[in-house]
């Protein structure tokens, strides 16, 4: 009889520790631009810190995936938690001593970005060794719920704590990373089978990971579709914010709109294991594209911020089910020795799309009216949905496929 995830000691240790770390991370993420703005008064410097964090994660993504496949994954996670705690501790001390500077904050942001680039593929690669294959989809969905809950609660805490003291959100992040480090000390990951390697070469290992992803047709196609969808949806999000302001929606209502994205994500993650089983692989993936295609044009007619918030919640409701289906399938078909590189490649590709989306949204609102920009995003999402609908690769998509590379 299979033990439930709630009674899986190793999984609950990892999940609980990272649930705390997610809260701390979201608290410091919202506090960082506020801190830089308070110290320098420069919006450009404020954006620089977050840009460095995201850029460091992207640049480190591919090497990190290769290193995760080379090194002990539990030790990588421990080292990442320790490094983040030390970086945050230095910032808290600097703030308490009124000695914080922009270069110091940039350095801390870079450390946090690199650590996440290492930690995330290490955790992804460990997951199939901690839970049975039959429970992997549920574990992936619960991790998504953890992230959404951490983002919602951490963002609220970060803003409230910053109002109390500038150092308070970063102290919270420091404490949560220390607790996550302690949880990882008790984590036991089953040993991996030794892989005989005559000579290790980082660039060659990165290339092997890129080739693995490219040769798997289903990974290649789902990644391409996800990139296009993320690009247009993140652009759409910025366009809707601009449109709401133009239509006189209050700042408070816009805040509720943004929060409803998280609400939809949390509810969607909780029901994702059930929907994953009921809908099957193809419908689980295609449904999120179809829903976004139907709902995106509705924003053209909506002028109430709270109604738009409800629309956002519906848009994100099915995304965790698609992510659960795709992630579970990819982890099961990928050899353990390649899982870190798989996660690194996918994270870099999707992260780049997420970074370019707001830029696209800004350009659209610069050269078009906001309502027309909504329609451009809707057309982009509809086109990728049409491809998903007719794609023979996605129609044959199945989590039970053998892990043998497809030919290009």
What's the confidence (pLDDT) of residue 127?
Answer: 93
- For residue 245, give the nearest of 312, 308, 160 by alpha carbon: 308
What's the confidence (pLDDT) of residue 169?
Answer: 92
- For residue 242, give the nearest of 352, 351, 354, 358 by alpha carbon: 358
What's the confidence (pLDDT) of residue 371?
Answer: 83
How far apart are the C-alpha atoms of 368 and 371, rounded to whole Å? Answer: 8
Q: In order of start, what are the domains of the chain with their CATH numbers?
A: 5-133+150-188 (1.20.1250.20), 216-395 (1.20.1250.20)
pTM for the whole thing? 0.83
* Range 59-62 contact pairs with CB under 8 angstroms and sequence separation of 24 or more: 60/113, 60/114, 60/117, 60/118, 61/117, 61/344, 61/345, 61/347, 61/348, 61/351, 62/206, 62/209, 62/210, 62/341, 62/344, 62/345, 62/348
Residue-level pLDDT, tens digit, the chain, 408 residues: 566 788 899 999 999 999 999 999 988 988 888 888 888 877 667 677 777 888 888 899 999 999 999 889 999 999 999 999 999 999 999 999 988 888 999 999 999 999 999 999 999 999 999 999 888 988 998 998 888 888 888 877 888 888 889 999 999 999 999 999 999 999 999 887 765 554 578 888 888 888 988 888 888 899 899 999 988 998 888 888 888 878 887 767 776 777 788 788 889 988 988 888 888 889 999 999 999 999 999 988 888 888 888 998 899 899 999 988 888 888 888 888 889 999 998 888 888 887 788 778 888 888 888 888 899 999 999 999 999 999 998 888 764 444 333 332
What's the confidence (pLDDT) of residue 406?
Answer: 37
What's the confidence (pLDDT) of residue 82?
Answer: 97
The angle that helices 136-164 and 168-185 make with each other, rounded to 10 degrees, is 150
The angle that helices 305-317 and 281-295 make with each other, rounded to 10 degrees, is 160
What's the confidence (pLDDT) of residue 43?
Answer: 67
How far apart are the C-alpha atoms of 173 and 88, rounded to whole Å? Answer: 7
What's the confidence (pLDDT) of residue 194?
Answer: 62
How far apart are the C-alpha atoms of 143 and 364, rounded to whole Å? Answer: 34
How far apart are the C-alpha atoms of 135 and 153, rounded to whole Å? Answer: 27
CA 63 vs CA 82, 118, 202, 238: distances in Å: 20, 9, 7, 31
What's the confidence (pLDDT) of residue 354?
Answer: 76
What's the confidence (pLDDT) of residue 88?
Answer: 96
DSSP secondary structure of 340-387: HHHHHHHHHHHHHHHHHHHHHHHHHHHHS-HHHHHHHHHHHHHHHHHH
């Amino acid at each position: 009889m299979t033990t439930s995830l709630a009674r899986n000691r190793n999984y609950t240790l990892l999940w609980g520790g990272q649930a705390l770390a997610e809260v701390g991370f979201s608290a410091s993420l919202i506090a960082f631009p506020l801190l830089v703005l308070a110290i320098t008064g420069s919006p450009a410097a404020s954006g620089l810190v977050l840009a460095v964090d995201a850029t460091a994660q992207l640049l480190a993504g591919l090497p990190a995936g290769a290193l995760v496949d080379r090194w002990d994954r539990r030790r990588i996670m421990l080292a990442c938690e320790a490094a983040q705690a030390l970086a945050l501790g230095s910032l808290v001390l600097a703030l308490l001593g009124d000695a914080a500077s922009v270069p110091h904050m940039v350095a801390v942001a870079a450390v946090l970005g690199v650590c996440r680039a290492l930690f995330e593929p290490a955790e992804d690669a460990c997951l199939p060794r901690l839970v049975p294959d039959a429970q992997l989809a549920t574990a992936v969905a619960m991790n998504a719920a953890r992230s959404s809950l951490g983002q919602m609660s951490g963002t609220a805490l970060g803003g409230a704590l910053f109002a109390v003291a500038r150092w308070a959100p970063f102290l919270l992040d420091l404490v949560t990373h220390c607790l996550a480090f302690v949880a990882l000390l008790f984590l036991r990951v089953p040993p991996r089978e030794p892989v005989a390697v005559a000579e290790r070469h980082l660039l060659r290992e990165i290339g092997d990971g890129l080739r693995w992803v490219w040769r798997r047709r289903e990974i290649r196609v789902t990644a391409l579709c996800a990139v296009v969808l993320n690009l247009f949806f993140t652009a759409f999000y910025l366009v809707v914010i601009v449109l709401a302001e133009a239509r006189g929606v209050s700042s408070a209502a816009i805040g509720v709109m943004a929060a409803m994205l998280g609400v939809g994500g949390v509810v969607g993650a909780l029901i994702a294991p059930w929907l994953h089983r009921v809908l099957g692989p193809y419908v689980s993936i295609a449904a999120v594209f179809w829903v976004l295609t139907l709902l995106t044009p509705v924003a053209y007619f909506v002028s109430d911020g709270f109604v738009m918030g409800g629309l956002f919640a519906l848009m994100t409701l099915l995304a965790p089910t698609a992510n659960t289906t795709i992630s579970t399938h990819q982890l099961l078909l990928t050899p353990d020795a390649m899982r870190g590189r798989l996660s690194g490649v996918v994270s870099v590709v999707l992260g780049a799309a997420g970074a370019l989306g707001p830029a696209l949204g800004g350009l659209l609102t610069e050269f078009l009216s906001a309502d027309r920009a909504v329609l451009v995003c809707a057309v982009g999402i509809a086109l990728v949905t049409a491809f998903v609908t007719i794609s023979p690769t996605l129609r044959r998509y199945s989590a039970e496929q053998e892990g043998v590379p497809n030919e290009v």
